[in-house]
Amino acid sequence: MKKIISLVVILMLTSIVATGYAQVRHGSFDVTPYIGFYKFEGNEDMDSSIALGLRLGYNITKYVGIEGYAHYVPTRIQSVGQGYSSDYWDSNTGQSMHALGYGIEGVVNLLPDRNIIPFLAAGVGGIHYSRANEDTTDNRYNKFAVSYGGGLKWFFAENWAVRGDVRHVMNFDSFHNNLLGTIGLTYAFGGRRSAAPPAPAPEPSAEAIEKGRTTLDVKFDFDKSVIKKGYFGDIDNLVSVMKQYPETNVALEGHTCSIGSDAYNKRLSQRRADAVKQYMVEKGGIAANRLNAIGYGEERPIASNDTEDGRRQNRRTEAVVEYLIKK
């Protein structure tokens, strides 16, 4: 018993300095071979002895699991020299006996996300004896048993843990109190691993933003929609801006002077806007869906139509594009 207590203390101290592994995983399995001691109650007249066993577990959640276990205890029937009256002496005294304990337990993991995990356990099972007589086993080869206790698991690697257990084992029909203490090596596998926390988003870098603006003003001869050579450079400049800032879209607005009917001037202004759009698409490589050509006729003059100079200024296709420049 002192060895088990010492083990528990050592594991608790180790938990303070050891690197943590969050090892109890939802849906994982455990295999634990173990060795320890088994102490029979005095009136069962059997020597305390070592216990060799195996536990197989399944973690329903990271907090709750279920385990099956079995252990073998080689012992012997106690003799008169060990403190019992002479009327106990019979032909069985000093003979070897073997006990096999088995059962199933529910396990509650108290701190499943730590590398040192305390747990509680309780369950039901049985004990099978290799001999049966009145003084040791109540003349029974098999007895029903109930157990409860707890322990610690220390995960020292990703899937490996050292485990210590203590159980109070109560067997029936005649009620007896036995004590089981073990230490084992656990291998855990399977189950759902916790997702790693997302990396923090990088701090946005400070950017200097400046507003840009480009205009286009293409003049046309009277009653014409043909682009004059002197304006190709201005259109190319607008094409360059649109390629540099692909999020921009442009409205091309065609206009006329007041000479002619409203309907004719509307069609003429549309042809002027379409001429600039066609050049930007075919020569400049701008997608047509980024350009909207609109003819306004004589509705939006920028100068007086009473003079030749004013009418010349009104025969135009114009555009304005604004964009953000990041530095």
Residues 185 and 213 in one domain: no
Across the range 285-312, mean pLDDT stands at: 93
Paired residues of 74 in beta bridges:
98
pLDDT (tens digit per residue) in 180-236: 999 999 999 987 765 566 777 766 555 556 677 788 999 999 999 999 989 999 999
Predicted pLDDT at 314:
92
Residues 182 and 272 in one domain: no
Amino acid at 53: G
Question: Among residues of the chain, what percentage have pLDDT more than 90?
Answer: 58
Report the phi/psi class of residue 128: left, alpha or beta, with left for phi > 0 and alpha for psi in -120 to 50.
beta
Q: Of 135, 167, 192, at which residue does a domain stop?
A: 192
CATH of the domain at 21: 2.40.160.20
Six-digit token string for 188: 């855990």
Residues 260 and 126 in one domain: no
Structurally, the chain folds into a number of domains equal to: 2
Residues 106 and 221 in one domain: no
Residues 106 and 134 in one domain: yes
Predicted pLDDT at 88:
42
Across the range 89-106, mean pLDDT stands at: 80
pLDDT (tens digit per residue) in 1-41: 455 455 545 544 444 444 455 578 888 999 999 999 999 88
Q: Would 26 be classed as within a structural domain?
A: yes
Q: Of 166, 192, 218, at which residue does a domain stop?
A: 192
Residues 168 and 234 in one domain: no
Residues 169 and 261 in one domain: no
Q: Would 182 be classed as within a structural domain?
A: yes
Residues 148 and 57 in one domain: yes
- Using alpha carbons, select from 38, 54, 174 the residue that is nearest to residue 97: 38
Q: Would 145 be classed as within a structural domain?
A: yes
Residues 273 and 155 in one domain: no
The model's pTM = 0.52
- Which of 22-26, 65-69, 91-95, 214-218 shows the lowest per-residue confidence on average (mean pLDDT)? 91-95
Q: Would 199 be classed as within a structural domain?
A: no
Domain that holds residue 142: 2-82+91-192
Q: Would 201 be classed as within a structural domain?
A: no
In Å, what is the CA distance from 44 to each residue of 23, 133, 239, 243, 323? 40, 11, 101, 95, 94
Count the Cβ atoms, other than its own, within 10 Å of residue 18: 15
Which pLDDT band, with edges at 50, 70 and 90, does 85 fall under?
very low
Residue that wins the pLDDT comparison between 174 and 225: 225
CB 52 within 8 A of CB 149: no
Predicted pLDDT at 6:
56
In Å, what is the CA distance from 148 to each residue of 16, 107, 258, 326? 27, 10, 103, 70
Q: Of 165, 192, 219, at which residue does a domain stop?
A: 192
Buried b (16+ CB within 10 A) or exposed e, 290-326: ebebebbbbeebeeeeeeeeebebbbbbbbebeeeee
Residues 103 and 49 in one domain: yes
Where do the H-state alpha helices sit in the chain? Answer: 2-17, 134-137, 232-244, 262-282, 308-314
Q: Would 197 be classed as within a structural domain?
A: no
CATH of the domain at 228: 3.30.1330.60
Q: Would 177 be classed as within a structural domain?
A: yes
